[in-house]
Structure formats: structure tokens, C-alpha cells
Structure 1
Amino acid sequence: MTIQPFRYSKEEFARRGNEIYETQIRPQVEEGNHGKIVAINIDTGAFELAKDTITASDRLLERYPDAQIWCVRIGHKGVYRFGIGRLRRLP
């Protein structure tokens, strides 16, 4: 498996991914799929829906081996959370 170089700056990559999700994909997938991952080919707008990023990305790469993939977690601001957030309890 060959790793493809990025064709866009990170800002353009994110802009394209978010725009495709908000305008084309979100209305199709949001209801009933809270927390699932959408892997989006930012060149074609094709997407795959799965419970995790690996599964969604692998499915998309089967169809589009050169895909530039942007992932979104439905109903969340980010795909992953960093830090302890709600888990931290103050005395």
C-alpha cells in the first residue's frame, strides 16, 4: 500500500471536508447515526459511514484508492477528544 501525498494545504483540506459534509452529507446521515464516523473523499464527495474511523476509511479506500479522506463524527465537534474533560472531578 502506497501512501499518497496530500494535494491540499491543511486549511484547504479541512475547508473542503467540512463544506462537503455540511452541504451534501449531513442531511442524509445525521438522523439516527449520532456518534458514528463519516469518512469523506474530499475530491469526489463520496463517503462511507461506520462505527469507527478505520472501518469507514478502509471501505472508502476500497472504492477510491487515491482518496483524500476527511472524517467527521456525527453530532460532535471533533472526531476525538483530547484531555480528561468531564472525567476530572474537583474536590
Structure 2
Amino acid sequence: MKKIALSAAALCVTASVCFGADGAKLFKSCVACHGAAAEKPYLGGKVPALKSIASAERLESLKGYKAGTLNKNGQGGIMKAQMAKFSEEDIAAINAYIDSL
């Protein structure tokens, strides 16, 4: 039998149903820099709009910022502080919400 790996987000209709976390609500803390629909480039375009980044790459970046192992464009400290309040479940919900935009 052939196994197919799907991300949890791909199987979900809404992040809140699958993850128990409300990605839309959690994303509100990101809006000032990234725009209400994740459409806003940041740092004069050095950081692309979040919705233009592939889902898997964006998820890994969010996890890297939370862990403190990522410092793209010198934003590691700021993003680590932003991500500190989010659980792994929250991060997955935020990523799934951005995918839905």
C-alpha cells in the first residue's frame, strides 16, 4: 500500500477546527508589520509578504524564529520575542490561517 503524507493544514477546513487554536485571532498580533491579509512586504521589501512564501518554508521559518535559530534580515530577536507566546499548535494554526488568505 502506498502511503501519502499530508500536512495537517491540508486536511483542515479551518485551523481552529483542527488545531484548537484560532489562527485568525492569533495572527492579529502580526498585522501591524505583515498586513491584515499577510499581504504587506516588510523592511522595504526585504521581507516578502507572508502569503507569497510557500507554506512549508513559512512554517519552518516561524519555528526557527521561535527557537532563536533564524535571523533573516536581522529580525531574529524581534521575531523570537513575537513567537515566544505561541505554542507549536498556535504556529501551525497561524500558518494554516495565512494559507487560507
Do both share a fold (TM > 0.5)?
A: no
Higher relative contact order (CA 8 A, sep 6+): 2
Q: TM-score, length-normalised on structure 2?
A: 0.36
Larger radius of gyration: 1
TM score, norm. by length of structure 1: 0.39
Relative to its length, the structure with more helix (as a share) is: 2
